[in-house]
Amino acid sequence: MTLDERRAANQRTLLLLSGLLGLIGLIAFPSLMGRVQYARTRAELAAIRDAASRAELRSVGKMFTTLARIVGPTVVNVTSKRRITTMADEIAALRGLPAAGTTAEEVGSGVIVEADGVIVTNYHVVANSQEVDVALADGRRLPARLLGADPASDLALVKIDATGLPTATWGDSDTVETGEMVWAIGNPFGLDRTITYGIVSAVGRKGVVDSPYQEFLQTDASINPGNSGGPLVDVHGRIMGITTAIVGKDYSGIGFAIPSNTARRVCAEIAEDGYVERGYLGMALKSSPPDVLGVIVTAVEPGSPAALAGIEPGDLIVSFDGEPIAEPAGLVLHLTRTPIGERVPLGVVRGGREEAVTVQVGRRPR
């Protein structure tokens, strides 16, 4: 046998012995193999703990506390008081006696958007109130006056006499995508400046309430009574929505917020005029069959912008200023975002043919 042949034979023998020893170890020493595997797992866990202690991963956890510190001081507690007339009050009035007086309180949240004390909240928090006060993060409690409100969008502006206040920054809700991280800050059940975390579950959610002027961002961040009027912020602390508690439907575990672009536009109009003007065309609409794109005109008010533009009952509106229209609420939302007096092309199908009809947006009667 040559030297090379002997070396090859020795290698085969060593491989065979190694395999036999491994098999014997698996059969005879399972606890030893288990300890080896456990040691390997323990080493992997130690490596993970080491990575978690690094600065770049610690910063992820700090992001939550940083947001709370930045946005928290801009969130306020809003309490409104309204007088309730009871049966006892009515009887007292009939007898010429003074009413006992019953007061109900509504507690919600708000967010400071101007350093001189301008605060955004929900309309339903301050509706029909005789007295509104605001509790700041620094412990001060100040009376507030109503600058104006828009019941259709459930938004209101109140103002306190203070200066140099911390303010939140508006974000662009049109850039929000489903799945983004968001934080809701408010006063649920009176627990001041509670912060909850979640994601954007859906955008452009319609049909949540009866108003055709409202669409929402949907989130799984916890929003409870008392959160109404607080901000929903993104990872940079920018306002992406004004949270609102939806009452009357079973939306357990689901939260909603008015998109920031809607809230910002409405609040700017309230600050300017004290109310919000909306566009008006003067036609009644209904949904088309599922296989047909557009909305059907069922009636046109005489002398309205739609009538002056030549819109007729039975017309199918398929687009508004180049944007496809799939449902009546969609057209209404586009209309609310269009300045009064602007001339807008409508895509109209009549007699099987589509044509462009220009309509001048009118002012909705108040």
Do 260 and 141 meet the contact criterion of CB atoms below 8 Å apart?
no
Residue 221 tokens read as 């961040």
The three-state (H, E, C) secondary structure of 24-49, written as one string? HHHHHCHHHHHHHHHHHHHHHHHHHH
Strands 75-84 and 131-135, by their bridges, are antiparallel
Residue 261 is which amino acid?
N
Sort residue 322 into left (φ over 0), alpha (ψ -120 to 50) or beta: left
Question: Which of 217, 302, 293 is CA-nearest to residue 254?
Answer: 217
Q: Is the distance from CB of 255 to CB of 184 less than 8 angstroms?
A: yes
Cα angle 265, 274, 170 (rounded to 5 degrees) comes to 30
The catalytic position among 109, 153, 201, 228 is 228
Q: Is 280 exposed, middle or buried (0-12, 13-18, 19+ CB in 10 A)?
A: middle
Structural element, H or E, at residue 234: none
Contacts of 148 (CB under 8 A, 6+ apart): 156, 157, 270, 271, 273, 274, 275
Of residues 192, 172, 181, the one with CA closest to residue 234: 181
Rounded to whole angstroms, the Cα distance separating 59 from 54 reads 9
Assess whether 124 carries a catalytic annotation. Answer: yes
Of 80, 109, 154, 319, the active-site residue reads: 154
**Which residues are CB-neighbours of 152 under 8 A, at least 6 positions away?**
211, 213, 214, 276, 278
d(CA 71, CA 4): 78
Residue of 359, 366, 317 whose CA lies nearest to 341: 359
Tell me whether residue 228 is one of the annotated catalytic residues. yes
Concerning whether 334 is annotated as a catalytic residue, the answer is: no
Active site residues: 124, 154, 228
